[in-house]
Structure 1
Amino acid sequence: MSAYGHQMEREYSAQSLSGNGGSDGDSHYMMETGFYMTSVAATIFIGAIVTVGVLMITLLITLTVMLQSCQSRNAGVIENEKLSYDYNTCKSLGLHAELNNLEASQFPTICKVLAVQYIEEGQYARDLNSTVVVVENHFKTVNPPDDGLDVVLMDIDDIFSSNPQYDNLLLQGYDQYGCSNCIGDAKHLKLQSVLRIFTKLHARGWPLILLSRKPERRRNTTINHLLSAGYRDWSLLIMRSEEELHVDNYEYFARRRIALQKEGFRIAGIISSRYDALTGPNCGKLVFKLPNPIYCIFEDRNVNMDTAI
């Protein structure tokens, strides 16, 4: 066949293919690779790509949110661990401060902040109530003997204040840490709790001896405050003699306990929020420590004993 014949054959074949494809009545796409796709298939393919893209974006957003949530939780855990560490550290410092009569200036600021939170968030009230329940439950199980020589000693110095100037000093300490009512709230709670113990033990027939760090010359003022606070019919009120004004609190209380026992009294229990009244020789059968968040936190340990609460 001639070259002209071959060219005619190729043109005829191309026309035949084009005519056969158009007779189907459907549009089509021809890829350079020879792959054909109908319009419906192309639509489905494009929709699938869009759907996968949306799913990928959604997954990415979800993972981002989860990561941020985990970071927030981890930050919260770290913060809680730090607060727990600070609380335990301050609790240990407070214990040693009470035992060794440390100055308030030796406490870090975070401890003063936590002391305020301890009162404001209600934990002090819960701890105080729990201690009162322990005292009440114990004395429900025992009765005082008829000879009246089994006595309970109660520390009254941190129940109320007889010095407005000193109260103002403490209020200023609390104001620095955002708790202007903490002093009043804490003292009112302690007053009510100790009075509750006093009333119930008195009703059960226990002789109650009240202890004070104040000097003897303030006896009348102290009695008036006790009466105004609701205290009645105590057996004895012990206050410092002139010779004892410069004696350490621990020694002062130890001397008085020894003197009571020499007189024939048996100490069935001691109730106080301060360790100087609860430690040392001749403490009797049991001691009950009331919680005391303000001791050595805001108090000025250099305040004169004649005016301190």
Structure 2
Amino acid sequence: MSAYGHQMEREFSGQSLLSSGDSGTEIGSRYNIESGFYMTSYAATIFIAGLLVTGVLLVTMVVSLAVMLQSCESRSKGMVKIEKERDSHRYCQILTLHGELNGFKPDEVPPFCRSLAIRHIKAGGYARDLDFAMRMIDSFFDSILPLNNSVDAVLMDIDDILVLDPQSNKPSCGIEGAMYLKQRRTLKLYMKLHSRGWSLILLSRKPERQRNFTIENLNSIGYRNWSSLIMRSNQETETNTSEYFSRRRKALKEEGKEIISVISSQMDALTCWSLGIRVFKLPKVPQFDNHLENCRFSR
């Protein structure tokens, strides 16, 4: 190769190295720029604020979940308690029904059933039960009329409505309040049936010697113009109550009376002979020993 050729080759090689060096520098610079992270102070502030907001939201979410879990746990415990109370209430209802059928005495009722009964009354449960029973009776007698005023009879048990002293103040709470409410609602029913022409026969378990006293009490409450008042004769004082009622109703039938309905809150008056077309049981007010309470009275 000529000297000129060698010179040209050296120059070309030098230029190539120079170019390669420049390219390396350019690539290295580009790499440094791309691998670094650069942001302005404004962008950094926004980024940090976003992280704080996200943290607050996460904490809030955790707290909310904890509250929800605690609430669910409390509600679950409440449901268990409610279920237990409902079970106790059902048990006491069944026990009361069998107690009425078999003539249980008040001291044979478990203490917790007594407490439930009083709570039921105080919460307005007895008033609702009585109202429902009265509406059933009204519905029946709204659909039927007496064909013969002196023959078609309705028998009404009066012993429960004479438990309270007619001269006493008007109790507004507890068992006495329930008794007074029943007394007034039964009188209202009596007056409605009387105005529609029904022959009303009053039933009592009391002995004949208390007739005058019983009539005075009935009059003081507001009862008037009943067809007859049935009370135990001297020979019936030891007779079983159901048998006593059966005998008296049979005698009424033999006299020509047509018994349409019997209304009572006690099972012994509703489970014997000649009950008519329809019988109605009014809810019974529990009568426990030492049940007097500190109530407010109204005149």
What interval of TM-score do these two structures reach, taking the shorter chain for normalisation? 0.7 to 0.9
SS of residue paired to 2:276: coil
CA contact (8 A) 1:154 1:209 kept: yes
Are the structure 2 counterparts of residues 180 and 235 from structure 1 closer, same or farther at C-alpha, using a change threshold of 3 Å? closer
SS of residue paired to 2:52: helix
Q: Deviations over 1:187-223 (max 9, x none)?
A: 1111111111110111111110100011110100000
Residue 42 of structure 1, CA deviation:
4.8
Asked if 1:213 corresponds to 2:215, the answer is: no
Residue 43 of structure 1, CA deviation:
4.1
Residue 84 of structure 1, CA deviation:
1.5
Residue 229 of structure 1, CA deviation:
0.4
1:194: which partner in 2?
186
2:94: which partner in 1?
92
Question: Which protein is bigger by CA-based radius of gyration?
Answer: 2
Gaps of 5+ in 1: 1-19, 21-29, 168-178, 301-309
Asked if 1:182 corresponds to 2:174, the answer is: yes
1:171: which partner in 2?
none
1:72: which partner in 2?
74
SS of residue paired to 2:161: coil
2:113: which partner in 1?
111
Are the structure 2 counterparts of residues 77 and 245 from structure 1 closer, same or farther at C-alpha, using a change threshold of 3 Å? same
Output the CA distance in 1 between the equivalents of 2:39 and 2:164: 99
CA contact (8 A) 1:271 1:289 kept: yes
Output the CA distance in 2 between the equivalents of 1:205 and 1:299: 40
Q: CA RMSD in A?
A: 2.5
2:272: which partner in 1?
280
Aligned letter for 2:143? Answer: T
Output the CA distance in 2 between the equivalents of 1:139 and 1:47: 78
Aligned letter for 2:278? Answer: L
Aligned letter for 1:111? Answer: C
1:175: which partner in 2?
none
1:172: which partner in 2?
none
Asked if 1:293 corresponds to 2:295, the answer is: no
Aligned letter for 2:249? Answer: R
CA contact (8 A) 1:118 1:293 kept: no
Residue 52 of structure 1, CA deviation:
2.7
Are the structure 2 counterparts of residues 247 and 51 from structure 1 closer, same or farther at C-alpha, using a change threshold of 3 Å? same
Q: Which structure has the higher relative contact order (CA within 8 Å, separation 6+)?
A: 1
Q: Deviations over 1:242-291 (max 9, x none)?
A: 22112222121112111211222111100101111111222122111101
Question: Percent identical across equivalent pairs?
Answer: 46
SS of residue paired to 2:160: coil
1:234-245 equivalent positions in 2, closer than 5 A: 234-245=226-237
SS of residue paired to 1:151: strand
1:229: which partner in 2?
221
Are the structure 2 counterparts of residues 93 and 37 from structure 1 closer, same or farther at C-alpha, using a change threshold of 3 Å? same
Residue 37 of structure 1, CA deviation:
4.7
CA contact (8 A) 2:152 2:259 kept: yes
Output the CA distance in 2 between the equivalents of 1:68 and 1:289: 46
